[in-house]
Amino acid sequence: MRKPKDYDAELKALTDKAKQLKSRKVTQLGELVTATGADALSAEELAGVLLDAASATDAAKKEAWRKRGAAFFSGEGKAKARQRTGGEPRRAAPEPGSAQPLFDGPGTA
């Protein structure tokens, strides 16, 4: 005879995994803000910029942003971000058992 599935345990495991993924996403977004130098903006300025970007409908503008972001992650835009902020991006110390950051610092791709 087959052992019955413990649906409650599986649901709890999936819920825990979803919480971990959401937490990792929030952490990575914070690291991205810091790595790009956007942490120099006030919270209100940053929110305004993000709201403007989220409501943008101009495909050409979005494509230009995408290319600029791709250049940043490939290393071409990192030097410019360091010049704007006056040095290396600041990074928080990783928590034990945390996921890999979205941005590992200068020189990584």
DSSP-derived secondary structure letter, 91: -
57 band by pLDDT with thresholds 50, 70 and 90: very high
pLDDT in tens, 72-104: 999 876 666 555 555 554 444 444 454 455 444
Position 45 pLDDT exceeds 70: yes
Q: What's the pTM?
A: 0.57
pLDDT in tens, 5-39: 899 999 999 999 999 999 999 999 999 999 999 99
